[in-house]
């Protein structure tokens, strides 16, 4: 489990002290001074005055000063980062609170840390009325397991013969040498990456890494914690945020009733359209064969004769680990053979889908480890063993709950094969409706929580999103993009692509490939081609890639080893490249200028409800007499569609073409809702017969 707090290290240290009533409340006043026409941004820094940005800043200032939630859609170009950062920092600074900013993509995290926060300091310094706020402190929150702990490293070096096999000693020495020079102690800075076996015993994700054991000047994690305690702004990603919230959040950090992550914090969730799905992933069970066996081998590995119990345990206790490993193999192998032999994901609908072979061995080992811990005096050894006993207990309870299908009316359960070779078996569960958890952990925490994104509304309506987060009456507002879409965007709709049916699948792909070839050749600059199916993307690529190669045109495609950020960089540098991508490429790609002059949407992004979570949600809606297509499938597709279209115009000077190759947009009644999501109301239909005349992108 990712952790931020140990028993003697609450964060922040003086969070229980209520701020004096005399602390100033200046965010609304200064937001007007900063963002108004003739204000600091406009005059002192010569930044463009944007009424939409000023409106958002005022709404955020009201939310943080009144400790109320806010949902705010800010179209591309509004400048939402400054609109929430500046008033948020002012209020956090004045009230001695912490502003948590959570994002979904690494690109936006880096932009906030490296570009937007330095710009905030520059803005504050531009006027005497705000100069004091330029001294705000910031930090990036990273999971505890990413940091080196010098105390655990020293223990590993001392006990290396009991903890590691001989081949790992050299790797341990490499980590020790790096520890002498690293400024941050973050794992990703060590190249090549440390082996998992060594890193597991030297990272900070242990009760042994605490202020009472670690030198706060030397331990990278303790230094990072010190920065967090004094930071006014903390940047985090959605995955880590919800992992920490699921582990207790502000309650685990010392606040029973106020604050989301830390006591009395303020929270902004940028890229908030992804929040319901990320939260769903973390408010359930995630327990794998790999994780269980790794946990057991951390205690003792029978093959290498290494582990915590090699030094601190007895032969009988080590035998209990061996028994648990054997039971784990038997349990997960049975699940693989009986449920996952034919399909990688299988929903579990009946209790006791396997014998509970692991329950007894895990219980016996847990009791033995706890008994062994009690033989030690207070100290690192005892705490580390108690921590391992708690992990064993957590795994045992997780398996029990899975086999019992606990609260099946609220949760969906499934098995899946994961890992590079698809050999890891995972037990999974998730809430069918995430709204109650989001309401409890975000909206009911008596603090400001701002949800913002360029795409939250469905056909101009924010109600579907409000319902998904459990806040139908939360204050909500939309400010549209200031960009000139009427003059800078052209929309073309193909009317002759066969509907995607089983009988005409091959024909549909051939027509798609033909249109993609034509449209990318007719458009100067680069093109992003978005698919909803990986198999369709591969088939079309087989047809068109030789054509691009012959024309010496750069071609890029999403693949198992490709990195989205790197592919976007290559497209930017190519100038006239063509990039094929699927699901994750509909969001988060930012390629301004002519390097992205066209976005082609090959299919409307409907999700087929074959995944257990979508299937369960569909059944849940049907059971109460609702319409799953209208309430779930269509709103999700419209949201993704807006994200895909939003890849095109990224700056005031951008212009380009949206090309939609799914004829359902002109043949089905719901097509009007997709057209209503386009920022350009005018569109031109074309087909293979007239496209040479009517498909006229910008020159």
| Same domain assignment for residues 254 and 340 | no
| Same domain assignment for residues 689 and 554 | yes
| Same domain assignment for residues 314 and 262 | no
Q: How far apart are CA 596 and CA 594, in angstroms?
A: 5
Q: Is residue 1 part of a domain?
A: no
Which tens digit of pLDDT belongs to each residue from 100-113?
999 998 888 889 99
Which tens digit of pLDDT belongs to each residue from 440-451?
999 999 999 999
Q: Is residue 172 part of a domain?
A: yes
- Domain membership of residue 574 as a residue range: 485-694
Number of domains the chain contains: 4
Q: How far apart are CA 215 and CA 149, in angstroms?
A: 10
Q: State residue 45 phi and psi, 5-degree precision.
A: -110, 0
| Same domain assignment for residues 331 and 364 | yes
Q: Which residues pair with 386 in a beta bridge?
A: none
| Same domain assignment for residues 406 and 454 | no
Q: How far apart are CA 462 and CA 455, in angstroms?
A: 10
Q: Is residue 680 part of a domain?
A: yes
Q: How many CB atoms sit inside 10 A of residue 518's CB?
A: 17
| Same domain assignment for residues 418 and 506 | no
| Same domain assignment for residues 215 and 239 | no
pLDDT the model gives residue 444: 95
Q: How far apart are CA 270 and CA 101, in angstroms?
A: 7
Q: Which residues pair with 686 in a beta bridge?
A: 494
Q: State residue 491 phi and psi, 5-degree precision.
A: -120, 125
pTM of the model: 0.90
Check which CATH number belongs to the domain holding 73 and give it: 3.40.50.300
413-426 burial string, b = 16+ CB within 10 Å, else e? bbbbbbeeeeebbb
Q: Which of 614, 645, 651 is nearest to 631 (CA)?
A: 614
| DSSP SS3 for 497 | coil
Q: Is residue 659 part of a domain?
A: yes
Q: Is residue 290 part of a domain?
A: no
| Same domain assignment for residues 553 and 653 | yes
| Same domain assignment for residues 67 and 132 | yes
Which tens digit of pLDDT belongs to each residue from 178-199?
999 998 999 989 999 998 889 9
DSSP string, 450-486: EEEES---BTTB-HHHHHHTT-TTSEEEEE---S-HH
DSSP string, 255-303: -SSS-SSSTT-EEEESSGGGHHHHHHHHSS-EEEHHHHHHHHHHH-BTT
Side-chain half-sphere exposure of 312, counting CA atoms within 13 A: 26
Q: How far apart are CA 497 and CA 487, in angstroms?
A: 27
Q: Is residue 608 part of a domain?
A: yes
| Same domain assignment for residues 317 and 465 | no
| Same domain assignment for residues 380 and 451 | no
Q: Is residue 593 part of a domain?
A: yes
Q: Which of 501, 500, 507, 503 is nearest to 531 (CA)?
A: 500
Q: Is residue 8 part of a domain?
A: no
| Same domain assignment for residues 421 and 565 | no
Tokens describing residue 380: 């690192």
Mean pLDDT by 10 residues, the chain (699 residues): 37 43 86 93 86 97 97 95 97 96 89 94 94 96 91 88 80 92 91 89 88 88 91 96 92 81 96 95 94 94 89 92 96 95 94 93 96 89 92 96 95 93 94 96 96 92 95 95 95 90 74 95 94 93 92 90 86 94 88 94 91 94 94 94 94 94 94 94 95 89
pLDDT the model gives residue 278: 95
């Amino acid at each position: 489990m990712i952790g931020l707090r140990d028993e003697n290290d609450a964060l922040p240290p003086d969070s229980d002290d209520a701020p004096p009533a005399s602390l100033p409340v200046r965010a609304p006043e200064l937001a007007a001074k900063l963002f108004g026409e003739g204000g600091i941004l406009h005059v002192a820094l010569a930044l463009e005055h944007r009424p939409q940005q000023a409106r958002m800043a005022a709404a955020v200032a009201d939310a943080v000063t009144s400790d109320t939630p806010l949902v705010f859609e800010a179209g591309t170009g509004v400048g939402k980062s400054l609109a929430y950062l500046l008033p948020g920092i002012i209020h956090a600074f004045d009230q001695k609170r912490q502003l948590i900013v959570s994002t979904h993509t690494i690109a936006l995290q880096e932009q906030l840390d490296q570009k937007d926060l330095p710009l905030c300091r520059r803005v504050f310094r531009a006027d005497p009325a705000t100069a004091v706020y330029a001294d705000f402190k910031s930090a990036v929150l990273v999971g505890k397991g990413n940091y080196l702990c010098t105390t655990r490293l020293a223990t590993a070096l001392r006990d290396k013969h009991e903890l590691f096999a001989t081949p790992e000693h050299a790797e341990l020495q490499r980590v020790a040498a790096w520890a002498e020079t690293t400024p941050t102690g973050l794992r990703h800075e060590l190249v090549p990456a440390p082996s998992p076996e060594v890193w597991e015993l030297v990272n900070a994700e242990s009760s042994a890494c605490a202020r009472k054991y670690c030198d706060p000047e030397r331990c990278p994690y303790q230094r990072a914690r010190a920065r967090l305690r004094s930071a006014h702004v903390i940047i985090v990603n959605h995955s880590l945020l919800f992992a920490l919230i699921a582990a207790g959040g502000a309650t685990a950090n010392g606040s029973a009733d106020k604050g989301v992550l830390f006591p009395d914090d303020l929270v902004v969730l940028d890229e908030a359209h992804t929040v319901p799905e990320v939260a769903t992933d973390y408010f359930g069970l995630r327990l794998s064969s790999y994780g269980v066996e790794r946990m057991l081998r951390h205690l003792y590995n029978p093959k290498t004769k290494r582990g915590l119990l090699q030094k601190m345990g007895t032969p009988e206790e080590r035998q209990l680990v061996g028994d648990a490993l054997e039971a784990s193999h038997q349990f997960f192998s049975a699940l693989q053979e009986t449920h996952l032999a034919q399909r990688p994901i299988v929903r579990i609908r009946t209790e006791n889908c396997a014998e509970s072979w692991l329950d007894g061995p895990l219980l016996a080992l847990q009791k033995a480890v706890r008994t062994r811990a009690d033989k030690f005096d207070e100290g690192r050894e005892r705490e580390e063993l108690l921590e391992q006993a708690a992990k064993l207990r957590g795994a045992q309870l997780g398996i029990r709950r899975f086999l019992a299908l606990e609260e099946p009316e609220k949760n969906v359960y499934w098995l899946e094969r994961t890992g590079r070779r698809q050999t890891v078996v995972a037990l999974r569960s998730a809430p069918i409706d995430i709204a109650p958890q989001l309401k409890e952990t975000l909206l009911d925490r008596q603090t400001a929580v701002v949800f913002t994104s360029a795409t939250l509304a469905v056909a101009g309506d924010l109600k579907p999103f409000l319902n998904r987060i459990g806040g139908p009456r939360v204050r909500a507002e939309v400010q549209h993009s200031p960009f000139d879409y009427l003059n800078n965007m052209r929309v073309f709709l193909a009317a002759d692509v066969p509907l995607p049916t089983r009988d005409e699948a091959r024909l549909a792909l051939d027509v798609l490939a033909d249109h993609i070839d034509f449209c990318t050749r007719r458009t100067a600059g680069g093109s992003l081609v978005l698919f909803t199916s990986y198999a369709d993307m591969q088939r079309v690529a087989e047809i068109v890639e030789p054509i691009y190669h012959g024309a010496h045109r750069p071609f890029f495609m999403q693949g198992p080893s490709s990195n989205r950020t790197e592919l976007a960089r290559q497209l930017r540098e190519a100038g006239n490249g063509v990039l094929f991508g699927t699901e994750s490429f509909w969001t988060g790609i930012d390629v301004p200028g002519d390097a992205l002059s066209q976005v082609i949407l090959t299919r409307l992004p409907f999700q087929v409800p074959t995944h257990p979570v979508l299937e369960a949600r569909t059944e849940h809606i049907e059971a109460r007499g609702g319409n799953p297509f209208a309430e779930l499938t269509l709103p999700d597709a419209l949201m993704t569609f807006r994200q895909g279209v939003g890849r095109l115009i990224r700056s005031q000077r951008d212009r380009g073409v949206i090309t939609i190759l799914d004829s359902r947009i002109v043949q089905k009644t719901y097509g009007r809702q997709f057209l209503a999501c386009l920022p350009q109301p005018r569109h031109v239909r074309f087909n293979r017969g007239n496209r040479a005349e009517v498909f006229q992108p910008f020159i």
